[in-house]
Amino acid sequence: KEDSAKEECKLLSSSSSSSSSMETIDIQELFTRLTLDVFLNIAFGIDLQVITNPEKYRAFTEALDEIQSLCHERFNDLFYHIKQRFNLTRREKRIKECAKIIDDFTYEIIDRAQQRRRDDNQPRGENDKISGNNGIVDEDQDVIKGKKSSQRFDLLSSYIHTANKDDENLSKKELRDSIMTFIFAGRDNTARALTWVLYDLTKHPTVTNKVIEEIESKCGVPGDANSDFSFETVVNNLPYLHAVIMESQRLHPTVPENFRMAVKDDTLPDGTKILAKSCVMYSAYTMNHSELYWGDDADEFNPDRFMNRLEPSPYLFPIFNAGYRLCPGKPLALTEIKVTLARLLPSYEFVDAKNHTGKCRWTITMAMDGGFHVAVRRRENKAGSRT
């Protein structure tokens, strides 16, 4: 959603009032707001403008973060099934509290979206409101006002339409599960990926300059009347930016490890026997840093390893999983990352404000520990005017 990238540019612009001054922000937190905005729009067809109204949705976003960290702790607890079933520990109690916050928010948006479908032949005016269960969400944003459901695409509408066509009834819980899977995957993974790319670029200014040169040569200068930042141009015509993203994901995979529980006895292709209820784990982080696969410079940032070559097999480079488990949101995530960076990098200079060591916070996803605080300054464009 290009509009969200533009909103982020506006927010950064307000944080960097002049080319000579540099304001410090936590870009990881800002990217998380951006991706939540984008994926809520895709999932529900609404624009909550989380980017510019973070406090309004802070309880929901903090619950999302906390529940992932708490659930990750279960992997190191042999008795978590018992504790979960009987709600024995503070952790399990808190998981339920976070789940209720998330459910309240999600169910209200589902109610609102379903009501919108029922009223889609009655375009809303500027002051119309649809109240939900708790008043968490209180009004439609400009991007969807006056549009019928048939004129919009969102996952919720698609699920309902498909179910109606097949004479199936989807429960709210089924809708919630499908939508939250999408939001969990899209919000955190994409935001983490954006943050790690920017971190790598702050450490490698030569690479940054090369990326900006490619963007300006293929897309033009931001703000110029002849510039072209369309999805087609950004996604298909910036091979070096793509290589930078892939290399950053290799070094800092947003999902560093993956677990699967066997529902029945199974046998792996090499003959290894897997018993029912066994947990099987692979580490994308370890694979991505293996000198066996990537050479002696496996721990170094080198985007050129992804230039002028086919993308490695997902079984070797499983940042989006592989096979039947290949992430269906891969094209969308890469598009959002590319569009955001193509908009930001030529317009703003980013400097690591606290000399971050690259230490990560390892939960279900791999975030930068303590966030990533950058000093931001607007660049002068080719014509000498500020973007």
At 382 the three-state DSSP class reads coil
What DSSP line would sit under 291-353, residue for residue?
HHHH-TTTTS--GGGGTTSPPPPTTTS-BTB-GGG--TTHHHHHHHHHHHHHHHTTTEEEEES
Scan for tokens 């955001």, then name that residue: 340
CA 102, CA 110: separation in Å to the nearest integer?
12
R_g of the chain, CA atoms, integer Å: 22
CA 183, CA 43: separation in Å to the nearest integer?
8
Q: Is 327 annotated as a binding residue?
A: yes
Angle between helices 155-165 and 27-44 (to 10 degrees): 20
Q: Pick the closest to residue 320 from 269, 242, 249, 224 (CA basis).
A: 249
Give pairs for 152-156: CB < 8 Å, separation 24+. 152/45, 153/45, 154/41, 154/42, 154/43, 154/44, 154/45, 154/46, 154/113, 155/42, 155/43, 155/44, 155/179, 155/182, 156/43, 156/44, 156/45, 156/110, 156/113, 156/114
What residues does 30 pair with on adjacent strands? none
Q: Which residues are annotated as a binding site?
A: 327
Q: Give binding residues for heme as ranges.
A: 327
